[in-house]
Amino acid sequence: MFKLFSGGGAVDNAWPLRDVVSALKKRFSDVDTLGEDGPLKVYGVQDNGVNFVVALMQTAPGSEQVAELGFLARFVGFPVTSQAIEHLNQNLHISVATLENNDLFLMAGLQVVGAYDETQFNLIIEQWRRDLALCIHGLQGDSASMADAFPAAKLEAARKFATNMAPPESADGAAPTDMDMLSTFLGAGRANRVMCDDCGGRGKRGLIARMCEACDGEGFVDGRR
């Protein structure tokens, strides 16, 4: 979904600039106008201590119609390797990360689709924020804990209750398999069920995800078959 700005021009869809900026300011309390260059208008956003840019490409200078949305965040002074960048890019949703002179740039560019809808715009914002969170987590490495960012995980009673211990070894000393816990989780009535070979446990097959006929979409079949 990443796309470099085309620089304006004829487009099939466009959103009213005023509505997009209004939604942006409604979503974030700290939004500054940084400037414009031809059809491009750039806004600076501070979100809980993280700075990024939202770029709005109009169909033409002064048209007040937005054809493309862009996002940019720059991270300086973090120890980043090319391997880390490669791993990060495998998990990003709408963005791409690149290393330029030891600075990490996180960027996204998308064409608007259909008539303007504030809900759709906010969904794009949340996708960008998700990518930002993944990027920041990767930059901070072991010092950042995704569990600590989840409120329930901070409660000791919740952490204790949610703990799942590995199954103990059997009497003959054989190590338990991952399926032991899975079979128990699926219920005593399904203890003899095994993962479906046809769909690999997904329950669906093919690019259009049709229901797997071998397991009726459950992902597991009777192990005695």
Which tens digits make up the pLDDT trace of 143-186? 455 556 566 666 777 777 777 676 666 666 665 555 556 556 65
Amino acid at 30: D
Name the more confident of 6 and 145.
Answer: 145
Answer yes or no: do 19 and 117 share one domain: yes
Name the more confident of 174 and 110.
Answer: 110
Answer yes or no: do 126 and 19 share one domain: yes
Burial 81-119 (b: 16+ CB within 10 A, else e): eeebbeebeeebebbbbeeeeeebebbbbbbbeeebeee
Answer yes or no: do 42 and 97 share one domain: yes
Return the structure tokens found at 157: 């009673």
CA-wise closest residue to 4 among 115, 75, 107? 107
**CA angle 62–65–66, rounded 5-degree value:** 110
Answer yes or no: do 122 and 180 share one domain: no
Structural domain includes residue 163: no
The mean per-residue pLDDT over the stretch 26-43 comes to 91
Name the more confident of 101 and 162.
Answer: 101
Residue pair 128/94 in contact (Cβ under 8 Å)? The answer is yes
Give CA–CA dist 167/70, Å, rounded.
49
Answer yes or no: do 205 and 108 share one domain: no
Structural domain includes residue 5: no
Answer yes or no: do 139 and 208 share one domain: no
**CA angle 89–92–97, rounded 5-degree value:** 45
Answer yes or no: do 107 and 19 share one domain: yes
Final residue belonging to a domain, choices 143, 166, 195: 143
Structural domain includes residue 37: yes
Residue pair 46/132 in contact (Cβ under 8 Å)? The answer is no
Considering the entire predicted model, what is its pTM?
Answer: 0.62
Model confidence at 102, pLDDT cuts 50, 70, 90, reads confident
Structural domain includes residue 107: yes
Phi, psi of 51 (to 5 degrees): -100, 135
Structural domain includes residue 198: yes
The β-bridge partners of 172 are none
Structural domain includes residue 167: no
Answer yes or no: do 126 and 206 share one domain: no
Q: What is the CATH number of the domain that holds 127?
A: 3.30.1460.10
State how many domains the chain has: 2
Structural domain includes residue 21: yes
Return the structure tokens found at 191: 């203890």
Chain segment 122-143, per-residue pLDDT in tens: 999 999 999 998 888 888 765 4
Structural domain includes residue 85: yes
Domain that holds residue 49: 15-143
Give CA–CA dist 130/136, Å, rounded.
10
Answer yes or no: do 44 and 124 share one domain: yes
Answer yes or no: do 56 and 109 share one domain: yes
Give CA–CA dist 167/124, Å, rounded.
42
The mean per-residue pLDDT over the stretch 44-51 comes to 89
Answer yes or no: do 180 and 137 share one domain: no
Q: What is the largest CA-CA distance in the chain?
A: 78
**CA angle 201–87–2, rounded 5-degree value:** 95
Judged against a pLDDT cut of 80, whether residue 48 lies above it is answered with: yes
Answer yes or no: do 116 and 185 share one domain: no
Give CA–CA dist 16/49, Å, rounded.
29
Give how far Cα 210 sits from Cα of 102, 124, 217, Å: 45, 28, 9
